Structure 1
Amino acid sequence: MAPSFLDGNSMFNFVVRDGNGVKGMVDFGLSEVPEQYVQPPEERIDKLNATAHDNPPIDLSKLDGPDHDQIVEEIATAAETLGFFQVMNHGVPVELLESLKDAANNFFGQPPEKKAVYRKGVSPSPSVRYGTSFVPDKEKALEWKDYISMRYTTDAEALEYWPQECKDVALEYLRTSIKMVRKVLEILIGKLGVTLDDSKIDGLIGLKLVNMNFYPTCPNPELTVGVGRHSDMGILTVLLQDDIGGLYVKMEEEMDGKRKGDWLEIPPVPGALVINVGDTLQILSNGRYKSAEHRVRTTRTKSRVSIPIFTIPKPTERIGPLPQVVERDGVARYREFIFEEYMNNFFSNAHDGKKSLDFAKNIWPA
């Protein structure tokens, strides 16, 4: 017998606690979005009035060649303004990207009981977690998304515990992407006039998560969001979109005729990857680089997948504005902290724009 999605407790237990996810609910043939997923009007995404971000992808194959300095400038400018940019010729084979999308669809296409074995509390490894929304117990309106999150420790553990349907391709995606992440990070740190040794870079990207996100078809996409407004907590995020699109980024300042506060859609480009700045890189740069506030819409016609890699400091890493940058700026805009404290704060609150950064802000006496 189908559960009642009109009853909030019944719906929550079915979707969240029993691990059926949004897809399990959609597979019963929903004709309208349950009340718990209806976003307040100010949080809904107006697809028709959004502007597309029309900057072409940055060609990373030109690094270390005659156009090296120009590409470095393009990367730094993007990080200083929107906090988002797309890259091509990034070293991750296009065939691998196609295989990733197939693997994600295969994983989420399984019966609910096959996915539910990775729920928090029952998963065979604390490094692998299947869930839905972001922090369902604390959200006023739930997000229309299911996900599998895989934390990397070693190849051996990944091959043993990551889901069979996606582990090989996800591991290869991580291996090939991390070289690019390191290169981009070194460029951005260099543009701050700072050089960090390899061990410091290792510490800043020492924790790596590969997520696969699934956004099922939605009967009322204008009422919901796939992911609410937020910024990422780490250093840099690498994102593979499928061809459906639905990623929106908020303008922090006026640029190219676009107003502060406008939402830009990042359209998918075949073969390209999206890179965005996280909170930690904004803190390290003392605010010069912008962690991008972004969100994701749902769609009525076709389910969507996206596959991000989050590069995050080790929990024991001490994070704060780089001393050389503070000396130049004359003020530290953020305080120093152990990264685990930031991570715990981030995951204990519902998405709320860039509010997570408040944790790190220096509070000046009145």
Structure 2
Amino acid sequence: MSATRAAAGVGGYDRQRELHAFDDTKAGVKGLVDAGVTAVPAIFHHAPDPLPVLQQASGDSNVARTTIPVIDLSCARRDDLVRGVKAAAETVGFFQVVNHGVAGGLLAETLAAVRRFNEAPAEAKRPYYFRGNARKVRFSSNFDLFQAPAANWRDTLFCDLAPEPPRPEELPEAVRHVMVEFGDAVRALAERLLELLSESLGLARDHLREMGCVEGLGVASNYYPPCPEPDLTLGSTRHTDASFLTVLVQDDMGGLQVLVDRGDGRRGWLEVPPLPGALVINIGDLLQLVSNGKFRSVEHRVLANKSRDTPRVSVAAFCSTDVIRSTRVYGPIEELTSSDGSDPPLYRSITIHEYLAHFLKKGLDGRHTLDHFLLLQPTPTV
């Protein structure tokens, strides 16, 4: 059924009624699974994606574009690290880091705590179910449930951890012992990565940090229950991140894919393979904006969970400015543009509030959020 027919209630299907009925349960997708659903409800149906799934490149001329780099942060030569993050940020926009300084035990316990929260009885989770941003800690299924063309097979516990963390009693008991510690650890890692990224742009080491790129930290703990018809839906629609930098820990289930350009005019989806102990790093929209397009915030998605009985869990830390109090205007960094027309600014200057207002209004609708702020609008692509 098309989105237009569904919205109009053709054939007895009233999409808005179904969305409200699902939301009113406050049990999320896990609630559907617990109820024994054997078919994916129509509100979760996605149109088929025409783009192919690519294999990791090996030994061809486009290897940088069709491989997710793995960077060892224990490398002794800083110049090598700078070159590594520069190449990744300018091509595929994603890389994995190992020997990053975040304890493996902390990462494992964070994933386990998120799983325990989601697998608690529905009545234990309902007090945290909330739409909007007025609470620092909120549980919901699909923040854009009423905006997006199709819902995703995923539930999320979101915590605003910086600049001011929630009080312990605001956090669910299942994650209370670990969430703030996890946030502090990945924020310290993000500061280190931003130094490398600053240097790769030819800027002072602390330039991006001084711009407030990691003043704020929001953590989305995602739970992807097994899906009875995974080919009909997605765990997360293709999107870019509303951040400067994102740090992600994923379990060993797989399913995260990045949209890449092979360099020969062909595009497709590339798996980000789970790597024990690694953290996945990706460039966010705001870093693409201030770098004047030199760094790439790349679209990515998560497939619906094909397992019969095992959930997928991931925790994404979104590094940004202080989204509550910041009045800073962000635009292309002056040193990265030129006045002679050879490297003009690509984006208009905006506040974080302007960006987020547009991001939240449109939801995960498959369109690149940054296109709205381009000084010259692009020709539409697939």
Indicate if the aligned counterparts of 2:191 and 2:209 stay in contact, CA closer than 8 A. no
Go from structure 1 to structure 2 and tell me whether the alpha carbon gap of 1:83 and 1:234 turns closer, same or farther (over 3 Å shift). same
Q: CA deviation at 1:196?
A: 6.5
Which of 28, 40, 48 is matched with 1:41 structurally? 48
> For the residues of structure 1 that align with 2:251 and 2:167, how far apart are their CA atoms?
24
Indicate if the aligned counterparts of 2:131 and 2:140 stay in contact, CA closer than 8 A. no
Q: TM-score, normalised by structure 1?
A: 0.88
**Is structure 2 residue 198 aligned with structure 1 residue 185?**
no
**Is structure 2 residue 351 aligned with structure 1 residue 338?**
yes
> For the residues of structure 1 that align with 2:30 and 2:276, how far apart are their CA atoms?
26
Q: Which amino acid aligns with 1:107?
A: F
Q: Name the structure 2 match of 1:3.
A: none
Q: Which amino acid aligns with 1:12?
A: L
> For the residues of structure 2 that align with 1:201 and 1:167, how far apart are their CA atoms?
30
Root-mean-square deviation (Å): 2.4
**Is structure 2 residue 362 aligned with structure 1 residue 352?**
no
SS of the counterpart of 1:270?
coil
Go from structure 1 to structure 2 and tell me whether the alpha carbon gap of 1:334 and 1:245 turns closer, same or farther (over 3 Å shift). same
Indicate if the aligned counterparts of 1:234 and 1:280 stay in contact, CA closer than 8 A. yes
Q: Mapping of 1:139-154 within 5 angstroms?
A: 139-153=148-162
**Is structure 2 residue 77 aligned with structure 1 residue 77?**
no
Go from structure 1 to structure 2 and tell me whether the alpha carbon gap of 1:360 and 1:289 turns closer, same or farther (over 3 Å shift). same
Indicate if the aligned counterparts of 1:251 and 1:259 stay in contact, CA closer than 8 A. no
Q: CA deviation at 1:210?
A: 1.1
Q: Name the structure 2 match of 1:90.
A: 100
Go from structure 1 to structure 2 and tell me whether the alpha carbon gap of 1:168 and 1:61 turns closer, same or farther (over 3 Å shift). same
Q: Name the structure 2 match of 1:266.
A: 272
Go from structure 1 to structure 2 and tell me whether the alpha carbon gap of 1:92 and 1:235 turns closer, same or farther (over 3 Å shift). same
Q: TM-score, normalised by structure 2?
A: 0.85
Q: Name the structure 2 match of 1:323.
A: 334
Q: Deviations for 1:126-158, whole angstroms, at most 9, x for unmatched residues?
A: 111111123111122111110010002466634
Indicate if the aligned counterparts of 2:149 and 2:365 stay in contact, CA closer than 8 A. no
Q: Mapping of 1:121-270 within 5 angstroms?
A: 126-153=135-162, 157-195=166-204, 197=206, 201=210, 203-252=212-261, 254=263, 260-270=266-276
**Is structure 2 residue 37 aligned with structure 1 residue 30?**
yes
Count the aligned residue pairs: 349
**Is structure 2 residue 314 aligned with structure 1 residue 314?**
no
> For the residues of structure 2 that align with 1:200 and 1:357, how far apart are their CA atoms?
21
Q: CA deviation at 1:358?
A: 1.8
Q: Deviations for 1:29-84, whole angstroms, at most 9, x for unmatched residues?
A: 111111111111237x87xx44246555210011xx2x321121111100000000
> For the residues of structure 1 that align with 2:231 and 2:162, how far apart are their CA atoms?
39
Structure 1 ranges of 4+ moved more than 3 A: 6-11, 52-56, 153-156, 196-200
SS of the counterpart of 1:107?
helix
> For the residues of structure 1 that align with 2:317 and 2:220, how far apart are their CA atoms?
6
5+ long unaligned stretches in structure 2: 1-12, 57-65, 378-382
> For the residues of structure 2 that align with 1:341 and 1:202, how far apart are their CA atoms?
17
> For the residues of structure 2 that align with 1:120 and 1:197, how far apart are their CA atoms?
37
5+ long unaligned stretches in structure 1: 1-5
SS of the counterpart of 2:30?
helix
Go from structure 1 to structure 2 and tell me whether the alpha carbon gap of 1:232 and 1:160 turns closer, same or farther (over 3 Å shift). same
Q: CA deviation at 1:107?
A: 0.4
Indicate if the aligned counterparts of 2:237 and 2:302 stay in contact, CA closer than 8 A. yes
> For the residues of structure 1 that align with 2:349 and 2:102, how far apart are their CA atoms?
35
SS of the counterpart of 1:184?
helix
Q: Which amino acid aligns with 2:223?
A: F
Identity value in percent? 34
Q: CA deviation at 1:317?
A: 2.3
SS of the counterpart of 1:36?
helix
SS of the counterpart of 1:71?
helix
SS of the counterpart of 1:208?
strand
> For the residues of structure 2 that align with 1:190 and 1:73, how far apart are their CA atoms?
9
